[in-house]
Amino acid sequence: MDIIRKCISCGNLKKRRELIKITKIKDSGNVVIEPNSKTFGRSVYLCYNQSCIDNAFKKNRINKALKTGTNINKSELEDLLNRDLKGTTDGQFKS
C-alpha cells in the first residue's frame, strides 16, 4: 500500500514518491530537498510541475508550512530539483 500525501500548492493527493519532499531537519533547522529521504523533521510536499512551485512561492506556503523564519529561494529550489532529477524518467521537473 502506497503512502498518500497532499501537494501544498494545488491540494492534489498523490503517492509520496510522485511528489517533491522538502524537509526542515529537526535538530539543525536546515531545509533540505530530498524526494526519497527518510529525514526526520517537518516536511511539505509539492508536485513536480512549474505551476505548483510558482504558486507555493507566490503565496509563501512552503515557509508557512515548515514554520521557518528564513525564506527558501525559488531559484535554489529549481537548481536543486534540476540537479537531483537529472537522469530520472518518472517525475521529471517541467519548466
Residue 52 in this model has a pLDDT that exceeds 60: yes
- The Cα-based distances of 2 to 13, 14, 15, 16, 60 in angstroms read 12, 9, 6, 7, 29
Strands (E), 1-95: 4-6, 13-15, 19-25, 31-33, 41-47
In order of 3, 34, 67, the CA distances from 79 in angstroms are: 27, 13, 23
pTM listed for this prediction: 0.74
9 confidence band (pLDDT: 50, 70, 90): very high
Q: How far apart are CA 39 and CA 62, in angstroms?
A: 17
DSSP output for 32-43 = EE-TT----EEE
